[in-house]
Amino acid sequence: MKFPVDFKEKYTNLLGDDAPAFFEGLQTEPVKAFRVNPLKENYENIDYALNRPIPYVPTGFYGSVSGKSLEHQTGYVYSQEPSAMYVAEVGDVQPGEVILDLCAAPGGKSTQIAIKLAGQGLLVSNEINRKRAGILAENIERIGATNVVILNESPQAMAQKITNYFDKIFVDAPCSGEGMFRKDPDAIKYWHKDYPAECAARQREILIETMKMLKPGGQLIYSTCTFAPEEDEQIIGWLMKNYELELIPVKKYAGMDSGFPRFAGDNMEMAKAVRLFPHHFKGEGHFIAKLQDKREPISNGNDSKKNRKKKKETSVFRNLSKEEERLWKDFEKEVFNQQLFNADNLRCWGDQLFYYSSKWPNIEKLKFVKPGFQVGVFKKKRFEPAYGLALAIKSSDVLRIIDVTKTEWAEYVSGNIISLVDTQLKKGWYVLRCDGKLFAFAKLVNGTLKNFFPKGLRFSV
């Protein structure tokens, strides 16, 4: 890998004696890792070795996973390099918190945050780029969380609608990406001498909006995948100068460095942040800082009138018609052994049925990809379950399960039907399961499982 001359000169000056090892580290192979997903039943029942745990991430393991495996399709595993995994750990997410992941695609941190919420509280996962927001939605769908709203907004538009609201905000900022040079050598092409300063200007713009949305007394977790002081310590210095924020010390595990005070006017506080350098640590480059808002905490922003409207006043959704209520209830009774959702939290967006808690904010006038958890769609006089519903339930919820072989699973995910011989089963909807993992809905008609695997997600193994 050939580095730009200005890059070499900059880090030779900044890192001194450590610079040769730094450049050498950027030439070595990137480290592969993945996380398992405790939202899933028997989540450690996977075909990947779990004998190389990552010391600072309880669900993280070194090793690589295939995007075409059953474990990946069903959201049992998520591929993520080891440095990036530390961000959500630093955030210390607790079930019940109301969290914003402002720069979220493709979803590494969001999937980890949603899993940590364990179905309680809310994650608003936002991505400004429409195409990337679509990928984010796919990744979140697989993990099976029902308490995630996926927006496709600018921080400015969001902050106009939602203020003083979030307990925690993650800003995994768009950055000059120097820490990704080894994983994605194309990132070098974008680099030039002024790039870090340009990125820093954008980061400040994003953070101005972020601070409007953070609840007084909340926490901000700021991270980048770059080494540039302008985008790391100097951004934190700027934040602390302009807002009532203090740094919370981040625990340093073996190989992790403290933030560099000398990168931000010898501000000793910077040592509370963490720097991950590939030549000291088993992972790609990252910077993480955790900041506490020192303003007087207010009672939960959920109750703020500005942020919330009564169900009937929210124009994104409409209430279900009597016919739709009946269709959903009939489906629920037929397939599940219990009520899955409180009926008060079910709403329609067009003909699609969503779970959207009445406690969540009003997202009217904001662009979204998924306004809550999609349960299904009403088609003429029928209800069709969403693919994501099969990934968000457990076998113990379901009356109608059909177990299939790995070969049949591969047929189904590629878009084919499955023929059942001599079946006595009643016709209708079933959840398909392979190797203990629920993976899709199918409709049984005359001994054939008709394929309802989403067309855009089909793949050949």
* Complex with ligand SAM: residue 175 or 327, whichever CB lies closer: 175
CA nearest to 234, candidates 83, 14, 3: 14
CA nearest to 237, candidates 263, 212, 276: 263
Residues marked as binding for S-adenosyl-L-methionine? 103-109, 127, 172
- Least distance between ligand SAM and beta carbon 105 (Å): 4
* The token pair that represents 21 in the structure block: 């090892």
Q: List contacts with ligand SAM (CB under 6 A).
A: 84, 103-109, 127-129, 132, 155, 172, 174, 202, 206, 225
Distance, CA of 411 to CA of 266 (rounded, Å): 61
How would you class 405 by CB atoms within 10 Å of its CB: exposed for 0-12, middle for 13-18, buried for 19 or more? exposed
Residues marked as binding? 103-109, 127, 172
- Least distance between ligand SAM and beta carbon 245 (Å): 20
User: Active-site residue among 175, 199, 225, 434?
Assistant: 225
* Complex with ligand SAM: residue 106 or 283, whichever CB lies closer: 106
Outline where 84-232 has alpha helix (H).
85-91, 108-117, 130-143, 155-161, 195-213
Distance, CA of 107 to CA of 141 (rounded, Å): 11
CA dihedral (338, 96, 129, 182) positive or negative:
negative
- Least distance between ligand SAM and beta carbon 113 (Å): 10
On whether the CB atoms of residues 292 and 222 are closer than 8 A, the answer is: no
- Least distance between ligand SAM and beta carbon 293 (Å): 20
Distance, CA of 22 to CA of 443 (rounded, Å): 56
Burial code of 71-106, b = ≥16 C-beta within 10 A, e = fewer? Answer: bbbbbbbbebbbbbbbbbbbbebeeebbbbbbbbbb
Count the helices and strands in the chain (H runs, E runs): 12, 22
* Complex with ligand SAM: residue 128 or 200, whichever CB lies closer: 128
* Complex with ligand SAM: residue 111 or 314, whichever CB lies closer: 111
- Least distance between ligand SAM and beta carbon 133 (Å): 8
- Least distance between ligand SAM and beta carbon 238 (Å): 17
- Taking each helix axis from N to C end, the angle separating 233-242 and 195-213, rounded to the nearest 10 degrees, works out to 40
DSSP-derived pairing of the beta strands 437-445 and 428-434: antiparallel
* Complex with ligand SAM: residue 78 or 441, whichever CB lies closer: 78
Active-site annotation holds for 199: no
- In what helix (H) or strand (E) does residue 6 lie, and over which residues does it extend? helix 5-15
Scan for tokens 């855009």, then name that residue. Answer: 456
* Complex with ligand SAM: residue 117 or 225, whichever CB lies closer: 225
Distance, CA of 192 to CA of 6 (rounded, Å): 7
Which residues belong to the active site?
225
